[in-house]
Amino acid sequence: MALVIPLSQAYVFGRDGLEAKIAPPYDVISPQQREALQRHPQNITHLTLPGERTEDYEKAGILLEQWKRDGTLKPVSPCMLVYRQEFQLGGHAYATTSIIAMARVEPYGNMVILPHEETIPHHKQDRKLLAQATRWANLEPIFGLYSPETAIREMLSKDRGTPYIDVTSSVINDGTRHSLWKLEDEEQQAVTELFRSKQVIILDGHHRYETRMERNVQDCIMICLAASDDPGLKILRTVRVIGREAARAITRSTIEEYFTIYESGPGTLEKELARCGGDPCPSTCIGMLINDEAYVLSPKPAMHELVSGRPLIARDLAEIDAFLGKSRVPKEEITYKGIAGLDEVLGQCALTPAHAITPEALLRHIADGGGRLPRKTTYLYPKKWDGLVVAA
Ligand SMILES: [Zn+2]
């Protein structure tokens, strides 16, 4: 099954000023955040988000070599790392603990490392050009999910004293603390051994994984691995937020063609949606916030027909995407947002699934051959940050 081995040829930034060098993964950084991060000449986004012109990719390749030469990036001996993130979400404090290592890239057909979401060719091309320019360096880890394992859980909960790396971003103030420790040699061997019988489900990083997979050479990829029962591992509900002007395209008659409308209120929608998808409402209802009003929309047969082939676990999101398509809301007017609670989108026009998908349900769905979900179905939180370790 999965071959998980220590990072070889790994590099880390020095501790000095590290808080200004780390960054979230490339695909969740807004243009404003990118600008703020890149004010520091050694921020990791100079490598992960160089721009999309040929010379931008080349610049990233040159910069990586320069940082390795001038000691900006310092080599570390082969290792696996324990990566702990402490964070706040919806007013609660959580911690999530994962392992950073290398995993052998395998075709999906081997059923060892499996995707859960569909990908877009354009994004793959971007990551491919960057990988080529940086000689296939692993600038950021992808993220994988595995089924719970007592021995690993005990290993990860061990008190390891002062962290090897301990940092909170000074640029993007989301309050997440990132701490890393090295695993002992015998622990690393145990991890390799335990993963020999495991499947890994990709939660984040499909584009980067497939770029390497399609390269068609024996290769490894840097991966951050978390157990599906990790208490701090959150998959947020993803909502579709629509620009106020564009939301005018949504008419009552289109809604009524596909849904039975139940009036709700912005303050009560959350509670009403919680009752959907089981007892007392077995339907895959969705929620709609529009013009300071709120509705529960229960799918009619016409909608069931539209989404009949889609996996049940994400059928509500498929309903939302199909409905936005039928309403002719332009794609560029739709933004995807991971939310911990509906209060984050009150006052906006938004369509929301009734529930978030849990890591365990997702793992079960994919392991049982349930098939890939639509894009932007799941939003991992917190993201695994870049600039903590590079494998090049
Ligand atoms: Zn319902």
How far apart are the C-alpha atoms of 33 and 35, rounded to whole Å?
A: 5
CA of 370 to the centre of ligand 1 (A): 23
pLDDT surpassing 80 at residue 191: yes
pLDDT surpassing 80 at residue 319: yes
Handedness of CA 142, 191, 373, 93 (dihedral sign): negative
Closest CA to 85 of 7, 5, 143: 143
CA of 351 to the centre of ligand 1 (A): 14
Per-residue confidence (pLDDT) for residue 392, from 0 to 100? 84
How far apart are the C-alpha atoms of 246 and 328, rounded to whole Å?
A: 9
Per-residue confidence (pLDDT) for residue 316, from 0 to 100? 94
Handedness of CA 327, 332, 335, 336 (dihedral sign): positive
**Got the DSSP string for 41-100?**
TT-THHHH---SSHHHHHHHHHHHHHHHHTTSEEEE-SB-EEEEEEEEETTEEEEEEEEE
Phi and psi (nearest 5°) for 281? -115, 105
Per-residue pLDDT averaged across 348-360, rounded? 95
CA of 125 to the centre of ligand 1 (A): 40
CA of 269 to the centre of ligand 1 (A): 11
Q: For residue 390, name the pLDDT band (cuts at 50, 70, 90).
A: very high
Per-residue pLDDT averaged across 204-233, rounded? 94
CA of 314 to the centre of ligand 1 (A): 15
Q: For residue 389, name the pLDDT band (cuts at 50, 70, 90).
A: very high
CA of 298 to the centre of ligand 1 (A): 6
Per-residue confidence (pLDDT) for residue 107, from 0 to 100? 94
Q: Which residues pair with 114 in a beta bridge?
A: 201
Q: pLDDT by residue (tens digit) across 121-167?
A: 888 899 999 999 999 999 999 999 999 999 999 999 999 999 999 99
How far apart are the C-alpha atoms of 67 and 70, rounded to whole Å?
A: 5
Per-residue pLDDT averaged across 112-122, rounded? 90
Are 240 and 324 in contact, with CB atoms under 8 Å apart?
A: yes
Q: How far is CA 27 from CA 14, 34, 48, 163, 205, in A?
A: 25, 11, 10, 28, 9
Phi and psi (nearest 5°) for 293? -115, 165
Q: How many other C-beta atoms are found inside a 10 Å radius of the C-beta of residue 189?
A: 14
Closest CA to 319 of 354, 365, 292, 289: 354
Phi and psi (nearest 5°) for 385? -80, 160
CA of 316 to the centre of ligand 1 (A): 11
Per-residue pLDDT averaged across 296-321, rounded? 95
- The overall pTM is greater than 0.95: no
379: alpha, beta or left? (left if phi > 0; alpha if psi -120 to 50): beta
Q: Which helix (H) or strand (E) holds 337?
A: strand 334-339
CA of 294 to the centre of ligand 1 (A): 14
State CA 249 to chain mean position distance. Answer: 30
Q: pLDDT by residue (tens digit) across 31-90?
A: 999 999 999 999 999 999 999 999 999 999 999 999 999 999 999 999 999 999 999 998
Per-residue confidence (pLDDT) for residue 376, from 0 to 100? 85
pLDDT surpassing 90 at residue 173: no
Q: In terms of C-beta density within 10 A (0-12 exposed, 13-18 middle, 19 or more buried), how is residue 65 classed?
A: middle
Can you list the alpha helix ranges (DSSP code H) found in the chain? 31-38, 45-48, 54-69, 121-133, 150-157, 185-195, 206-213, 252-258, 269-274, 301-306, 315-326, 359-367
Per-residue confidence (pLDDT) for residue 23, from 0 to 100? 98
How far apart are the C-alpha atoms of 192 and 101, rounded to whole Å?
A: 10
Q: In terms of C-beta density within 10 A (0-12 exposed, 13-18 middle, 19 or more buried), how is residue 381 classed?
A: buried
Are 319 and 307 in contact, with CB atoms under 8 Å apart?
A: yes
CA of 352 to the centre of ligand 1 (A): 12
> Structural domain boundaries of the chain?
4-234+381-391, 236-377
pLDDT surpassing 90 at residue 279: no
Question: 215-240 in b/e burial notation, b at 16+ Cβ within 10 A?
Answer: eeeeebbbbbbbbbebebbbbbbbbb
Alpha-carbon torsion angle 202, 209, 143, 134, nearest 10: 180
CA of 286 to the centre of ligand 1 (A): 7
> In 149-269, at which residue ranges do the beta strands (DSSP E only) sit?
165-168, 177-182, 200-204, 220-227, 234-242, 259-264
CA of 317 to the centre of ligand 1 (A): 14
Q: For residue 30, name the pLDDT band (cuts at 50, 70, 90).
A: very high
Per-residue confidence (pLDDT) for residue 214, from 0 to 100? 92
- What percent of the chain has a predicted confidence (pLDDT) above 90? 90
pLDDT surpassing 80 at residue 216: no
CA of 378 to the centre of ligand 1 (A): 21
Q: Which helix (H) or strand (E) holds 290?
A: strand 286-290
CA of 356 to the centre of ligand 1 (A): 15
Q: For residue 291, name the pLDDT band (cuts at 50, 70, 90).
A: confident
CA of 303 to the centre of ligand 1 (A): 14
Take residue 195 and report the two structure tokens written for it. Answer: 């993963």
- As assigned by CATH, the class of the 4-234+381-391 domain is alpha beta
CA of 87 to the centre of ligand 1 (A): 32
pLDDT surpassing 80 at residue 272: yes
- Average pLDDT over the chain reads 95
pLDDT surpassing 80 at residue 120: yes
